A and B are shown apart, each in its own frame.
Chain A
Amino acid sequence: MSRVNDVGGQTGFGALEIEADEPPFHADWEARVFALNSVLVRNGVYRLDEFRDAVERMDPQEYLATSYYERWLKAIETLLAERKVLADG
């Protein structure tokens, strides 16, 4: 089964965008999503492979239209909803 993330060898994505002296994160929320994910894995809410799977089974069009750390946020939300970790609302 091939998912949208399996892009190795595909053509058409164009030239690289290389940012000189790029910072580790471009916004505070990106770092917070990164930290939140590590804590949720550490606390046993889900496993790292389940997180990867949640990113990779995103709707293909949404996947390609979404920034990297927004994909992470979406995957976290998906896993929390599926596991009913939070009450609705």
Chain B
Amino acid sequence: MSGEHTSAPVAARVRRLEERLIEAGVVGEEQLDAALAAMLKGASPVNGARIVARAWVDEGFRARLLDDANAALPEVGLSMAGGIQEQRLKVVENTETAHHVIVCTLCSCYPIGLLGPSPSWYKSEAYRSRVVREPRAVLAEFGLELPADTAVTVWDSSAESRYLVLPRRPDGTAGMSEPELAALVTREGLIGTAAV
């Protein structure tokens, strides 16, 4: 994760700002280091994958997750309170006839506390502008071609509401354990730009 040459001036700007804020007592150096470490530790979609795997194997959990995700997450040791402020989470379930995909057209709202920082394309003007106008074309750019009779729903996140896609369990996975199932789930699957 080394800085690129072209980002050297901005890296120096960040360093100088941190130093001035530490000198002024606005933030603590240890506080910054701890926040950075905690954030990098959680910077992965494994938590989202765990939620999906549990929902695939536990019908009761699946129903509770779809009904009230914030209330169901503690069952897998997670919560939406891990970020800066707690937001409502709605889990939307893909079926044979319905596909869901999430976006934040205004900025980059995303379940960071569960999935880590979002990928660059999620924050790009191209994705934010286009997925609400031509979702099938956007999904095709990810290699996801949906049948014409599959209904596509696009969920626009906001400051207070976040979304997570519950992908369909792939065929041929009946014998798999929960950890094995979790390993099948990708970040794109949780956003809805991949099938799983």
Contacts and interface: CB of A to CB of B under 8 A. Distances in A.
A57 interface: no
A40 B27 contact: yes
B132 A64 contact: no
B105 A7 contact: yes
Interface in A32-51: 32-36, 38-43, 45, 48-49
Nearest to B31: A39
Contact of B36 (A31, A68, A86): A31
Interface residues of B, number: 52
Interface in A65-89: 68, 70, 73, 76-77, 80, 85-87
A80 B27 CA distance: 12
A11 B129 contact: yes
Interface in B16-66: 17-18, 20-21, 24, 26-27, 31-32, 35-36, 39-40, 43-44
A5 B106 contact: yes
Interface residues of A, number: 50
Contacts, number: 153
Nearest to B117: A24
Nearest to A63: B125
Interface of B: 1-4, 7, 10-11, 13-15, 17-18, 20-21, 24, 26-27, 31-32, 35-36, 39-40, 43-44, 84-85, 103, 105-108, 116-117, 119-121, 123-130, 132-133, 138, 141-142, 156, 159
18 contacts: A6-B106, A9-B133, A14-B126, A16-B126, A18-B121, A24-B116, A26-B4, A29-B3, A29-B15, A31-B39, A31-B40, A36-B14, A36-B18, A55-B107, A68-B123, A73-B17, A80-B17, A87-B24
